[in-house]
Chains A and B, each alone.
Chain A
Amino acid sequence: MKKKLIVLSAAAALSAAAAVPAFAMENEFHGMYKLKYFLTNSENGGAGQLVPVKSTTAANYFEQRARLFYSAKANDDLKLVTGFEIDSVFGDKSQGGIDDASNKNTTAFRNSGGGLESDAVNLETKWVYLDFNIPSTPVNVKAGIQPYKDAFKGIFLDADIAGVYASAKYGNAQTAIGYFRPYEAMVVSTGKAVAPRGTDNFDIAVLEGKYNVSKDLTVGGAYFLYSDYRTNAPETFHTFGVNAEAKVGPAVISGFAAYQTGFSKQTTNGLTAGKGTTVNAWAANVAGKVKTGPGTAKVAFLYTSGDQDKTDGVDHSWQSVSQTKYSATAFTPNGASAANSYNESGMMLLNRNAAQGGTTTDQNIIYTTNNNGQGAVIITAGYDATITPKLYANANVGAGLTSENNATVAHVDSATGSNNGSHYLGTEINIETGYKLYDNLTASFQAAYLFLGTYYKNTTSGKDPVDPYTARVALSYAF
């Protein structure tokens, strides 16, 4: 009898154990979808600097982006995070393949699939990284292709990037150390990495620290090593900076100051750098926001240094990370395909603000914080109102200037034949209003108009270029 009871109890215990798995895997799926319809005289679905033109017929197009995120969570201390992206413009491209006659691909790959019948292989990798805590330590490690935004509000680096980043919390202090490898050296003719791998890279290393002095005051600092040895024109410079955020009554004030020093043998922004240019640049920011009425009022100021004299052997322009791929000789940093941002501005056309974008269209007057070696001054003010729990409206105004002018960007007055001396790029006003159709789905309208400044005076065949504008209707779904 006793035996039977023991067997029964054991069976019950076993079944209980079987029914509650000790290591239940948590599968988490999230994502977003954004559809935008554009009516604009300055955007075309691409990315890069917005160069004002004499006159242009307004473009209208639909653009969509989906992002899918899957996390495989073994437990609270260990997970694999993945993210994917699918971008398309309605009617653009589909059915990519190799053209028999030219033996070239027909480009229906990334950002395609919006043409008739779709049928494009257009799934992009965004994130793939392991996120885990080291047992019995306060250390968290993220290893793999991950999102990273610098402690200077993204003006140096804001991108998806492959590397290893370890952070730790000790009471009120936080520290972090990271190593990222944006590119290996490549044999351009074959598209293969230069052997042995890992010897001639573009590397970025980061050290960060943060301390909560009180619940209302946080101070921090960061250091970045930018070291690009892919070609025989290397570039290595250091970025040091401090930042702080304080709550003062109902207001939150934040800012940073950063300095760059190093050298570059690359021909950056037309600088005469062949013999080796010294980098000597800086940036500063201060911003405030305060809750007032039904929303938040905000002001912000950003300065990045620029370079005027290209022959003095010193590059004073703030260096920002951008995509620099495929070259056998030298790269042009700070150029096309920015990997930095300044979202605090609230601008849509004036500067690169990833928060106002959300689809592939990514075109701005100040496209990188380097601004073609000229640096930038961006002064903005705005108000974000929550009118009802379902309805919101935002308005922003902002002015942009170059810190220094140089001839690398065409701003020649046709009447005088020389570059305009004015630093004033223009002033943007914009609005956004949105309504939550569901908790997850928001319909919104964005519009921006940029009054061009005297920097562009008479720069298009003796006439001023037309002021850029954009109007967008959007649907945003997040789950």
Chain B
Amino acid sequence: MRSLRPYSPAVLGAAALALLTGCLGSSESGSGDQDANRNADATKVELTIGSNSVKGGKNSAGATFVQDVLIPKFVAEQKGKGVDVTVRFQGDGSDDEVYKQKLSLDLSNKSGPDLFNIDGIWVGEFAQAGYIKPLTDTVGDAAKVDDWDGWKQIPEAVQQLGSFEGKRYGVPGGTDGRVLYFNKKLFQQAGLPADWQPKSWDEIIAAGEALKKLPGVTPIQLNAGTAMGEATTMQGVLPLLVGTGTGINPDGKWLGDTPKLRQVLDFYRKIYTTGLGDPVLQREAKGRDKSFAQFAANKIGILLEGDYFWRSVVEPKEGVAKMADRDTAVGYALVPAALPGAGVDGQDFVSMSGGGATAINPNTKFPQQAWELLQFMNSAEMVKASLDGAAKITQRNDVNAEVLAGDPMLNFVATRVLPITQYRPGLAEYPKISAALQQATADVVGGKTTEAAAMAYQKAVEAAAGGKDKVAGN
């Protein structure tokens, strides 16, 4: 490719930037002055749903539901009203960061799907960029949005996943909780109990030491490094951090280089310098996927993950790393605080939760119809249908009450984990702070000292937060 394409430096600049930017600061043509009722009476409607899921790949079940159930049902329902709707599914099967980049580029050029899924932590920066607008603005009629009966079924904490500065930007799609998964077969070989529940970090290390004696087994997988992106923050740093008794944004200031941060980094260091974890895996471009495959192949003893792991990764039929004997071979335990009672709010056990939301593109041609589809998508009937017999913690209380009883693991998350969980702050700076945390773990796993990593982190956070006064340091 190299010499076939004239790689002049100016072309490099052109490709990288002219494409991305369109026109700088073109806020005046936003949807603020667009008519929210445009095309409200159209009889021929076209809508696109964008999501980071694809049949047979990432979040396969979600993509299958949208394509095979949701779209046909919505089309049929609209046909009854005399409206000819065509709904297209724009699936994606990439890393969340890549999906986010693609979506931001689309939205910055005023294109992109009419409805799309976003992670709750992107809502702030997308809203600030004008890529999404409050639902009441897009739909135009506040009452129409606020009177939707679905809101009553969605708990306040979950609604926050689609909100920013007190305004609703999208309808959340359920939440999750984090636990420690462990391989019962390996535990048995190592002489560890099948109902393992560590009460401190030391007990995790102790179990790791026992597992280390098994040949070919990596005792602990604790996500680290930048290659895993948000998975490092969410399934690594933050659950540990709340286990030391603090959050990422205590008292309105971002966490800096504090003893508690160093405590977390020390724990990483302990795992990755004493052979309890595999440092190389954390540095690989596809490390997270590989860690899943290794767990499914009985090569990883303990792994910290969300309930997504249970539902979509080691799930026996449709998972990306299927385990036929999941129900008997995979155990799960609450994530302990560093010491009993040392967790945030004095808790013995901790967790972190997140989730996504579906938002409407402010530049959609059919805002009213998009809102109808969004409501339809989140109706009790459709949410239930999306589960297709499997369980998942949905956004709706009424559905949860019905389905969770059938799956002991998800019932465990709903009844034991969600009451003690924490959410990430819905602030626009969060992704940058998160990236700094990932870098700090990458430094430690790469061999730097805790002090050096923590000091570099402090610098990065000050830059990301926009000033020293916004960081709670030493």
The answer to whether A binds B is: no
List A residues at the B interface (Cβ < 8 Å). none
Interface residues of B (CB under 8 A from A): none
